[in-house]
Amino acid sequence: MIPRALAAFLLVAIAVVAPSLAPGVAPRASAAPGDPFPATNPQAWMLANDPATLYSITNNADGTISFTAAGATGSLGSEVNALAFNALDGYLYATQRVGGVSGVNRLIKIGQNGVVVTANVATLPDAVPGVSGTQNFIDGTVDPATGTLYLSANNVSMSTFTKVNLATGAVTTTNLSQTFSNSGIADWVFQAGFLWTVNDGGDLIKVDPATGVATTVKTNAIPDATTPPSGPQAYGGGFALGNGNIVFIDNGTGKAYQINMSSGTYNSYYVGDGPSTANNDATSGLGSPTDLVVGKCGPSQGTCKFPTGNNTPLHSYPLGQDPASNYVAGSTFTYTLTVYNDGPGLSSGSVVTDTLPTGTTYSSSSLSTCVASGSTVTCGVGQIAAGTSISFTITVNVASSTTGAVTNTATVLGNEAEVDTKDNSDTHTLAVQLSCAAGTIYGVNRTSPYSLLAINSGTGSSTGVATFNTPPIDLLGFQELNALAIAPGGTAAYAVSNYRTSAGTVTVQKYDPSSGAVTNVGTLSLASGLYIVGGAFDPTTNRYWLMTYNSLNGWYEFYAYDTATNTSLGRQFSFPWNTDLTLHGNGDLAFDATGRLYVLMSDGSARSQIRMFAPPLPSGDTNLTSSSGTLLTSPVGAVTVESNGIAFGADGYLYAQSLDGTGGQAVIRKIDPATGVVQSSVNLTNPDGTANTKSVDLASCAMPSTITLQKNIVGRKVATDQFDLSITGNGVSQNNTATTSGSTTGLQTNAGAVAGPVLVIPGKVYAITEAGASGANLANYSRSYECVNTLNNNVVVASGTTSSGSVTVPAASATGANIVCTFTNTPLNPSINIVKSSGSVTGPDASGVYTANYTVTVANSGNASGTYGPLVDTPAFDSDYTVQSASWAGQSTGSATGTGPFTLAPSGTSIGVGVTHTYNVAIKFKYTGTGVITACGGPGTGLFNSVAAIGETGPTTDNSACNTPPANINVTKTAGSVSGPDVAGNYTVTYSVKVINSGLSAGSYGALTDTPAFSANLVLTAASWTTSGAGAPGNGGASGAGPYALAPAGTTIAAGVTHTFALTITFHFSDNTVATVCGGPGAGLYNAVAVPSGQETSTTDNSACVEPPKRYDVFVRKVGKNAAGFTVSLAGSTWQLQADANGTPGAVITGGIQPVSGQTGEFKMSQLQPGTYWLTETKAPTGYQLLAQPIKFVVSATGVVTVASGGDTAISVGSTSGGQPEITVGDVAALTLPLAGGSGTKAFALLGGFLLLLTVLSLVLFRRPSSGASTGKRVRE
């Protein structure tokens, strides 16, 4: 493989991401080896080594690059080169030489995981025909719009391009307008309609693919690769980026350069290093556009916001107008930069360029890819998904000579096409600030030079910060400054021209560290006879305060100036100090972060004190008294001369200045503000090291730390109870005690009830204590304390549950700590509450007694044990109830008869803190009235019951409960009667179902289900029912064998009401067998009714059985005269039994009549149900005549058989020897006629006459009752 380098594929390398659908590629459920690459995502690939391996290239979040093999090592085979990506189908293409020198070139198609999808897309000619060793193609690129692949070789002079139409495989050539010498060009990159390359000298060349015209557009567009420090090299791989730029990489050094194609100047950016190699080729896919937004901010701003460039919700301020941060000259400053991808596509990588402003130099970065070259810092940023961001920091050194505003702009350039470039830059402004750190305070020279000095409080050395303007000359001819004040955060310093001896104005000057400017911003009007002695800045109101001494009356007068509007507010209040006007008054002011004013007042007599005035400060030209404010300490150490300045250090100590050093040199004393004890002292020196004798005032932007102790009284055990408070430790002795008074509860704020504030030192430990006063016993209270720092989100710095505790003051900070400690006392009292709740009601029992259950709880939620009792339970039921007795169990066990009240617990029953006593009460009662019970509504209704006890402190609204008695529902079933059959053989049977509510209140039941369980040979066909009773469900019916739903679920039944269901069931016999008699389910006409379990009080009467209808055996006997004239049973006849069809013979009943075995002429009709039947002789005995018509007979419901009509001979109804009904059918012999001719007719005529006479006599003597007669004989069952 001929040398090519991927090198870094920059810190602008394009990330390979999860596949998405490429244009023209059919969708798959998930990506598979050989699938096309997602053309919508930015991505890059590299061919390396021989045999070749395909690698994907990913930019990591920190800007570094990862190479991942996309398939097995060497899986693409040997002599593979000229890698190019076709965005139209999502596949990679490369050339491969097969067969060596004498072989051929072929074009292969590569999909995901390095799988060769097509091994020979097209057969290619030699790269340089006829020249040995130049057959292979080396360089390749694809026109993303047309899918045309451009191929070339660069090892020899070349003058043509080989072009492949990837859609058709057609191969053509294009001549170049100039010939490139061997080793002349790097990889080709298709961008903006042209083919681009660089030669080894770094010259940028473009070729028109249509005409072949080649143009060198810029010489030395990137560094000359032939003369680097490491020796001659060459450029290898080249890439197009979605942002319109192109990248080329030096094979030997691995350095990657991005050429800006949009500027027209073709400037290049060094973007990072990659591995040095000589066997690489690479390509890329551009992906979708992105919108990158860069934000730059300082450490005090937290998360960076973004400039307004489009409608991204994160954008919050106009471009370049983010809030400024403050810097300290001679220190470091850390910027935070955030790159946000507003989408829609993935950002594969970007470059952030930050040109550092004058006065700063690069120190470090949290991003390893950041590189500084002079004042320019370039940082490679990794891939960023749409809607996400990457943040990193750049720390710079700020030179000690830096002054004024420092402005810095960062710019981001993404790899992809940019949707909106307006938000690709952000500017941040740094303003110099005065230091508020420990060890730094500030002074001001009263005379020229009017220097603002930054003073090292530990050594007394100083540096010049600024020079105030020369003040105007006062009436005494002086030009002096005084009253130095520093605004919070060190953002400004204020001073005024010195005193005047008559009424007039003084000029207010302001130093702005952000610009370095000193400006006269306003004036203050003063009364006559005043000397300005001090100044301070109130951080809570932004007011600049002046302290003046009135030499005419010995008072201090205090003036205010509004720095927001630059207007004088005039004199606010005055405080008396000197009665001896010969003693000049001096001093200074200082504020803490809560707005409390600390005033140092001193004079030449070594008399001094620090007095605190709490906000809101007096106003309206108020004259205070000598006891106004709070005296914190006096005197201040061994100061024997008047002090002219004070300032609190961030270390918590007070620094006081006086001009009592040698030769009037200023001396700065470090003083414990709580005790006034001088800790150390130093002489103040000028920036040049000489003694300073001009400093007239001190100030700082550091605030002191304080502890305040207060009392929260939740309640008093005894009305006169009071409490003492104290803060001690480290010599604290002033303003450190307090005693409550009065009778109010809650936080005690009246005069004398709050100890402090006490000025304290960071890191030191102080004690807080409370004690009983005015006879108060702390043992009668629960105690707790909590100390919070109100200047740090009320973070808790100490807490406990005793009457004393220790507080460690937080470490030094510019704002100090305002610690507020609160002792909370709650009187120890029980809190007893009684609750009664209703339970179940059961019954009645056999005696008609019900039981109502209740639960009584006695709970002590207080903070002390207590007692209660007697605990009395009082039933107040509806007057139709009579209470019989009560019993209880739980905390105590007992019982009593009668109607109550009942005493559940005696007097003095003890109950501990957090304890609950439970009493389970059961009250037995009867219904002795006649009315309907009233619903629960207070005493005398329902089952109302209440409980009470001495000692209850809680509400009594929950001391009663009321039970509503449940309904007493029972379901019964009784048997009725059977009727039928009808002409179709159907019977009906009746039952009565009743749902009875014998209880004292309404209830509900259902579903009510009726389930027949008749003898197996009975077929049920339908049921119907009618209902009665108040509120009963409607009538109903159903077909089939059941079960039958008589009433739905939730059927309501009032107290004392019965719902009756008159049920009729229709059925018939399935065969001629006998139905079983009643004996449980499946026998007789058994039937049961049910409701869901638990709805009724008894189920023993839920079933009934009606005996099944009777069916009877009927016998038939065929008789006739024998030759001897006797009546005998005749054999040989046959019969059929037919049903009645409206008075005529109907359907034949198959098998209805059968001969009786062993009995001549005897037949049996088995199990005939009551009804009408027809009996037809189908064959007469031999020698006898067939009956001329059928016999109609009836079987009654009681088994009586009667012959209604039919037959033509003697028929009678009798009984068998077993008493069963029997129909006897007589028959006559057939008549035999004489033969024709013979001895004549006379004899026969005589004989015939004789026989006729005998027949008549026989009929008279032997004939049975006629067919229409009824024997009245009852058939035996």
In the chain, what are the domain boundaries? 43-285, 292-432, 440-699, 705-827, 832-963, 969-1106, 1110-1277
Equal CATH topology for 292-432 and 969-1106: yes
Query: Does the pTM exceed 0.75?
Result: no
CATH architecture of the domain covering 1110-1277 = Sandwich (2.60)
CATH no. of 832-963:
2.60.40
Grouped pLDDT means (10 residues each) for the chain, 1277 residues: 33 34 38 84 80 81 71 86 90 89 88 90 78 71 92 68 90 78 70 87 86 85 70 72 82 75 64 55 81 70 49 40 60 86 86 89 91 90 87 88 77 86 79 80 94 94 90 82 93 84 80 87 87 93 94 92 96 88 82 92 78 93 92 59 86 91 92 87 94 95 93 95 96 92 94 92 96 94 96 94 96 88 95 94 83 96 94 94 96 95 96 96 89 84 93 90 85 92 87 89 91 95 96 96 95 92 95 88 95 84 92 90 85 92 90 91 90 91 87 88 76 88 82 46 48 48 38 32
Question: Alpha-carbon distance 637 to 609, whole Å?
Answer: 10
Residue 324 has a CB neighbour count (10 Å cut-off) of 19
CATH entry 2.60.40.1510 includes domain 292-432: yes
User: Beta strand pairing status for 1221-1227 and 1112-1121?
Assistant: parallel
Residue 7, pLDDT score: 31
Topology classification of domain 705-827: Immunoglobulin-like (2.60.40)
Residue carrying the six token digits 């693409």 = 76
- SS3 of the chain: helix, strand, coil, percent, to 5: 5, 50, 50
User: 103-119 burial, b for 16+ CB within 10 Å, e for fewer?
Assistant: eebbbbbbbbbbbbbee
User: 1051-1068 burial, b for 16+ CB within 10 Å, e for fewer?
Assistant: bebbbbbbbbbebbbbbb
Q: Chain centroid to CA 982: how far?
A: 74
Residue 524 has a CB neighbour count (10 Å cut-off) of 24
Question: Alpha-carbon distance 714 to 273, whole Å?
Answer: 71
User: 1176-1206 burial, b for 16+ CB within 10 Å, e for fewer?
Assistant: bbeebbeebbebeebbbbebeeebbbbbbeb
Residue 159, pLDDT score: 73
Residue 310, pLDDT score: 45
Distance of CA 685 to CAs 454, 456, 642, Å? 11, 10, 20
Vertex 507, ends 502 and 511: CA angle to 5°?
155
Residue 1044, pLDDT score: 97
CATH architecture of the domain covering 440-699 = 5 Propeller (2.115)
Contact 1117, 1224 (CB under 8 A): yes
Could you give the 3-state DSSP secondary structure of residue 1261? helix
Could you give the 3-state DSSP secondary structure of residue 480? coil
Contact 537, 485 (CB under 8 A): yes
Of the options 1.10.10, 2.60.40, 3.90.1200, 3.40.50, the CATH number for the domain spanning 969-1106? 2.60.40
Amino acid code (one letter) for 1024 = S
Residue 198, pLDDT score: 86
Question: Alpha-carbon distance 491 to 513, whole Å?
Answer: 6
1106, β-bridge pairs: 1085
Which long-range CB contacts under 8 A does 16-19 form with residues at least 24 apart? Answer: 16/41, 16/43, 16/44, 16/45, 16/56, 16/57, 16/58, 16/68, 17/41, 17/42, 17/43, 17/346, 17/348, 17/383, 19/112
Contact 571, 532 (CB under 8 A): no
CATH architecture of the domain covering 43-285 = 6 Propeller (2.120)
Residue 180, pLDDT score: 62
Contact 1148, 1136 (CB under 8 A): yes
Question: Alpha-carbon distance 897 to 1129, whole Å?
Answer: 89
Radius of gyration for the alpha carbons in the chain, expressed in angstroms and rounded: 60
Could you give the 3-state DSSP secondary structure of residue 537? strand
Residue 279, pLDDT score: 60
Going 587 to 589 to 590 to 594, the CA torsion angle's sign is positive
